[in-house]
Structure 1
Amino acid sequence: MKSIEKEYGVKIVYSDCIDGKGYYVPAYRIIVINNGLPESEQTKVLLHELGHVPQTDYAGLYNCSKPSHYKMEAEATEYMLKEEVETYLMENDLDCKSINPVVFLENRHLSLRYAPVVEKILSEI
């Protein structure tokens, strides 16, 4: 965690007292993760929240139109998926052409609705 904190310039904290899975608080550069989640889910939430860090108008996520909100959330989810794909490739010593997006998503316990995003990620690697 220390290397992630240093690389992204954020502090990561785990709490039993939050409503939701996790949050990024840009004013304090803190990511808060729900401690009650299984470790694998905490990792996905952390990666998603890290996807928000480079967003320059993160405050606008909750103060803007729904399309802008959805776009920012989609970007953070795509970041999480990209990191998960790269980890999956390394862990299984695979090449991106040998991954079936549906099998990958099922293996990582992720929604199949992300299949088009995973296909895009794999085409860009």
Structure 2
Amino acid sequence: MRARIKHLLNKYHLKLVYKDIEGKGYIIHTPANVPDFIFVKENLSDEETEKVILHEVGHAENDDNVIGNYKTNSRAHDCYESGANKFVVSEKVKEYANLGYDTMNANWLNLAQYIGTDNYWLVREELQKYRFKG
């Protein structure tokens, strides 16, 4: 597991569990002072596992900022998922920039497809954050 993933799990006090589950992954929020759990489907590719973990870490970072019941309120559900997806894009673009790729001339459409999102504008926006860093 990459050091960045381990850092994020520690930062948000998350415990990672691989299990034979139906979906690709989910987070279980627990009471204060108890780590939340991220469950990830066994036997996913390393790349898919990383995306699932990042998505669930995105929930850990953003879920407290959303008001409403995830299961019964579609607007709240969309906000929860949007925050988690944005976290994935942000982390993957950060990784891309840290690897030394040219963020000014990057093909953001191809990068978005690689990340697994159809939110091309978000990828473009995230890339622009690195325009003058070098």
Shorter-chain TM-score: what band?
Answer: 0.7 to 0.9
Q: How many residues align?
A: 121
How much has 1:48 moved relative to structure 2?
0.4
The answer for unaligned runs of 5 or more in structure 2 is: none
CA deviation after TM superposition for structure 1 residue 61, in Å:
4.8
In the superposition, the TM-score normalised over structure 1's length comes to 0.83
Gaps spanning 5+ residues in structure 1: where? Answer: none
SS at match of 1:96: coil
Corresponding residue for residue 67 of structure 1? 75
1:86 paired with 2:94, answer yes
Determine the C-alpha separation between the residues in 1 that align with 2:122 and 2:115: 15
Instruction: Name whichever structure is richer in helix by fraction.
Output: 1
Q: Percent identity?
A: 28
1:102 deviation in Å?
Answer: 1.0
Question: What is the aligned partner in structure 2 of residue 12 from structure 1?
Answer: 16
Distance 1:117 1:70, change over 3 A: same
RMSD: 2.2
1:42: which partner in 2? 49
- What CA distance in whole angstroms lies between the structure 2 residues aligned with 1:46 and 1:83? 11
| Superposed displacement of residue 58, structure 1 | 7.0
Cα deviation code 1:45-98 (max 9, x no counterpart)? 10000000022167945244211111110110010011011111222x124212
Query: Normalised by the size of structure 2, how large is the TM-score?
Result: 0.78
Measured at CA, do residues 121 and 9 of structure 1 come closer, stay the same or move farther in structure 2, by a change above 3 Å?
same
